[in-house]
């Protein structure tokens, strides 16, 4: 195989990892914005402040697992409403994803009671898909020089 063709093939092979790394950077930025917005909610009142303080969105994949963000969410709940933190596991099928969550043991009630009037996670997820897609695409584009 000619050296030029070999260099081309190796260059193309490097594009996907670079694009994914860029997408992760973009997702992290968008997740920070979504976290900030969720924490501004007035949808469910605020008895202890734990729910608002713990809302978080974080990007996962390419080595990022969100454990620090989730740890901070749990710490916020335990500081403001001790004994009411709860977490579970999630599986992301694919290279990258974003988790939008709350680490309280009562979030399911906020999302469903009163016909969802106090919901934050569901509406945030519904409204953020395009935002996350644009952020991932923009991050990849920056890395690839576009």
Domain residue ranges of the chain, discontinuous segments joined by +: 3-143
User: CB neighbours of 76 closer than 8 A, spacing ≥ 6?
Assistant: 50, 53, 54, 103
Name the residue with tokens 């080595």.
63
By CB atoms closer than 10 A (0-12, 13-18, 19+), residue 49 is: middle
pLDDT band at 9 (very low <50, low <70, confident <90, very high): confident
Q: What is the SS3 assignment for 66?
A: coil
83-137 pLDDT tens trace: 999 999 988 888 999 999 999 999 999 999 988 999 999 999 999 999 999 999 9
User: CB neighbours of 57 closer than 8 A, spacing ≥ 6?
Assistant: 30, 31, 32, 34, 35, 38, 98, 99, 100, 101, 124, 128
33-66 pLDDT tens trace: 999 999 999 988 878 999 999 999 999 999 999 9
Q: What is the SS3 assignment for 93?
A: coil
């Amino acid at each position: 195989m000619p050296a030029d063709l070999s260099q081309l093939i190796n260059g193309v092979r490097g594009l996907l990892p670079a694009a994914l790394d860029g997408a992760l950077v973009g997702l992290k930025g968008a997740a920070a914005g979504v976290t900030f917005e969720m924490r501004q909610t007035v949808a469910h009142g605020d008895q202890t402040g734990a729910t608002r303080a713990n809302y978080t969105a974080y990007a996962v994949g390419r080595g990022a697992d969100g454990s620090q963000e989730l740890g901070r969410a749990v710490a916020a709940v335990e500081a403001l409403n001790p004994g009411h933190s709860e977490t579970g596991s999630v599986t992301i099928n694919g290279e990258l994803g974003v988790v939008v969550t709350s680490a309280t043991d009562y979030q399911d009630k906020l999302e469903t009671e009163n016909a969802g009037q106090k919901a934050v996670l569901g509406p945030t997820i519904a409204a953020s898909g395009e935002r996350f897609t644009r952020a991932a695409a923009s991050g990849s584009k920056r890395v690839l020089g576009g």
